Amino acid sequence: MLRKLEVLSLIAFFGFSTFSFADQVTLKNGDRLTGTVVKSDGKELVLHTDAAGDVTLKFDAIQEIKTDAELHVTLKGGKTVVGPVTTSDDKIEIATKTSGTVEAPKSDVTLMRNDAEQQAYDKSLHPGLMHGWDGGINVGFSVARGNSQTENLALAFNAMHPTLHDKITLYASSINTTNNLATPSTVASLEQGGFRYDRDLKPKLFVFGAADFMANALQFLDLRQVYTGGFGFHAIKSNRTILDFLGGLNYTHETYSNGTLLVPATPPNPAIYESYGKTNRFAALTLGEELNTTLGKSTVLTQSAGFFPNLQQTGEYRFTFNLGTVTKLNKWLGWQNQFGDIYVSNPPTGSKSNDVIFTTGLNISFTH
């Protein structure tokens, strides 16, 4: 009997200890949740629970918060205090180690973070160039045999290095399709790559510089180089959606090779081509928009459009449109779909103005 009482006492002790060291949130409707307060922006509060994972609560719907762990609380005016938090009615109390209990109206709370969130935030302010990267690699491959003998390989890479006030973006992609019949031919051959640097001037205004490169064998484009500078505006910037508008100037340098061979060279007569190589150098406008939004819990949609009118040859322009989705299958693996349209108003003779591309395949994400 005594042995049973000892066991029950230990269970009660550890159960009470576990309960007492958990954070508690009481809602205005009387519901009480137990877990760990993760963060709050003054509008919503994220509570991590063992049973349901992360639970997001409306801050206005909360009657009382009581934490045993320290929280980093930022109040209006920028003051930050650290300590366990207790709220009642419309007042918040933070029991600091150095300044005693700090009281403030609950409406003055602009941010709350636990230690892990605060450490991640502090690290994001000044990450080294070798840290803080997020990105992914897309892979798609197909083979057809029978009436056709085609092979298609699509590869893409993107990486982003965001900090509190700036962002570096890198990207590269390649699509190559060949038909290996009696007369082999290239069905598609398109390579793109580039980088961009954004720097915030104000919460909604930023300046950017970019360099983009492209080669397209079917348009006889050996290389197009575009160097851009301009300003951007964050029309929407939230945790789920970012919508930016871009405007600026660019310098374009593009080199085309000879087109399709019509008549082989017969000395002293030179070969005759459908079109002949040339180099274009000109200034152009850069006008565009970019959208990044989260759909549901596991899908991210990205969309961008760009219009580049030639300032030196009126009526000549380029237009690009991209739309893609990545659906997470687990933490590092996803399924991606990508649609792209590239239009050139003045392609070489024998080539089309429009290239439409659709790829699908696996996405492998990474964080460093």
182 shares a domain with 117: no
46 shares a domain with 161: no
| pLDDT tens column, 228-246 | 999 999 999 888 899 999 9
CA–CA gap between residue 258 and residue 271 (Å, rounded): 10
CB 315, CB 344: distance < 8 Å: no
335 shares a domain with 199: yes
117 shares a domain with 141: no
Domain end marker among 72, 92, 125? 125
Instruction: State what percent of residues in the chain have pLDDT above 70.
Output: 90
Q: Which residue has the higher pLDDT, 273 or 60?
A: 60
Judged against a pLDDT cut of 80, whether residue 92 lies above it is answered with: yes
| pLDDT tens column, 8-51 | 444 444 444 444 458 999 998 989 999 999 999 888 999 999 88
Judged against a pLDDT cut of 60, whether residue 160 lies above it is answered with: yes
Least confident of 44-58, 244-258, 264-278: 264-278
Judged against a pLDDT cut of 70, whether residue 182 lies above it is answered with: no
Least confident of 5-19, 121-135, 166-180: 5-19
116 CB-near residues (< 8 Å, 6+ apart): 38
Determine the structural domain holding residue 89 and report its residue range.
2-125
228 shares a domain with 82: no
How many structural domains comprise the chain? 2
Domain end marker among 105, 125, 145? 125
Dihedrals phi, psi of 177, to nearest 5 degrees = -130, 130
The residue among 212, 156, 219 whose CA lies nearest residue 186 is: 219
The residue among 230, 288, 277, 285 whose CA lies nearest residue 254 is: 277
310 shares a domain with 175: yes
Domain end marker among 125, 156, 185? 125
335 shares a domain with 189: yes
Judged against a pLDDT cut of 60, whether residue 196 lies above it is answered with: yes
164 shares a domain with 115: no
Question: pLDDT value at position 148?
Answer: 67
171 shares a domain with 117: no
Q: What's the CATH number where 191 sits? A: 2.40.128.130
139 shares a domain with 51: no
Instruction: State what percent of residues in the chain have pLDDT above 90.
Output: 49
Q: How high is the mean pLDDT of the chain?
A: 86
149 shares a domain with 112: no
121 shares a domain with 14: yes
